Structure 1
Amino acid sequence: MLEAVTFTVVTLGLAFVSRASLRKPGSHGFYRFIAWECMLGLFVMNMRVWYDNTSAPNQIMAGVLFFISLLLVVFGVVLLKVSGKPDSSRNDVPMFEFEKTTALVTSGIYRYIRHPMYSSLIFLGWGFFCKQPSILGVILAVTASLFMIATARAEESENINYFGDVYREYMKRSKMFVPFIL
């Protein structure tokens, strides 16, 4: 019962904050919502075992993935706010206020990866999976990861429309999610 209530309440909250994106299929926020739902499913499936056997290898791996996720999101958000020059009047696609950047951020973590916050969500999803690995869990984690890739690709198209060739050049010298690899 707790799982169903948690899933329903959080889904309603996510749907509310994503309402503009949900009205625009193909936007990065549309795909992100689906990824969030998969990650929420993983969290809800595993929330009762969150602190069970915390020294087990899968629990330790979950902790490592959560830590990486936290670092990525903190560095990503701070740099976006400090260097991205957000402008609330930008309304080319449905975006959260901090996403409405007017300057392309290519320093710090963004020097190496274009989507640290989406990378953070991928690590978070796999951390949820590691709490209690299962077949359904791997399906949800893979699906969430695929939708995060779709999110990043949609956002890259939006960024090319806004920043033009500067963004295309940036894509050539940086990776999508993992420095030097992917």
Structure 2
Amino acid sequence: MAPFGEIVWVLGIVAWYVIRYPFERRARRVRVVGDYRSRSEKIALAMALFGMAVWPALYLLTGIPRGADYQPRMWAVVVGGALFAFGLWVFRRSHKDLGRNWSVTLEIRDKHKLVSQGLYRLIRHPMYASFLLIALAQAFLLPNWVAGMAGLVGFLVLFFMRVDVEERMMLDTFGDDYRAYCARTKRIIPYVY
């Protein structure tokens, strides 16, 4: 049964990249006018990549750490697959909603606008919400305590090292409009947080 979860995880990661690639390519053509990148942001991005892609891939290729394996369950694969699918939908939708404002790093683009429609009408950071869903999916899909949970650790490091800086960047750029937007939305879970 373990291969089913692993196959779903691999297909999900491939789908994630297929979704991201055209937006990344398009973003390179839009001039950056504000840059909030830092060493800590690079560390946070590296930790997220390591936890959500590198460590699980090493586990799939080598089986290490075998001592952390547990018996996979079909219900966990179904839950993990559903979470991954929903996470990919949120991921794609958040890219579409951002349009030319999207960036991998903390940057303000030329003619940047405050996006508050689509998923952004409910939460300020749907892309982080998608990462949380995908990290939860990984925990269900990979029957290994270390590889499965590495995604959540990577997500938490990324989120808590980066979200305050990102919100400060938006406040510096959009001022009172962003304050009003924050007052009517939550960060990553609608109506909760």
TM-score normalised by length of structure 1:
0.67
Note the residue ranges of structure 1 that are not aligned, 5 or more in a row.
Answer: 1-16
1:66 has 2:84 as partner: yes
1:163 is matched with 174
Q: Which residue number corresponds to residue 115 of structure 2?
A: 105
Aligned identity (percent) is 23
Q: Which runs of 4+ in 1 moved over 4 A?
A: none
Matches within 5 A, 1:1-182: 24-27=38-41, 30-45=43-58, 47=60, 56-81=74-99, 86=101, 95=107, 100=109, 102-137=112-147, 139-150=149-160, 151-182=162-193
1:74 shift after superposition: 1.5
Structure 2 gap ranges (5+): 1-23, 25-34, 64-70
More displaced, 33-42 or 122-131? 33-42
CA distance in structure 2 between the aligned counterparts of 1:134 and 1:54, rounded to whole angstroms:
9
Provide the secondary structure at the position in 2 that maps to 1:178.
Answer: coil
State the Cα distance separating 1:46 from its structure 2 match: 5.4
Q: Which amino acid aligns with 1:34?
A: M
Question: Residues 146 and 117 from structure 1, CA distance in 2 versus in 1: closer, same or farther, beyond 3 angstroms?
Answer: same
Cα–Cα, structure 1 residues 86 and 132, in superposed 2: closer, same or farther, change >3 Å?
Answer: closer
CA distance in 2, matches of 1:87, 1:139: 28
State the alpha-carbon separation in 2 of the partners of residues 87 and 135 from structure 1: 34
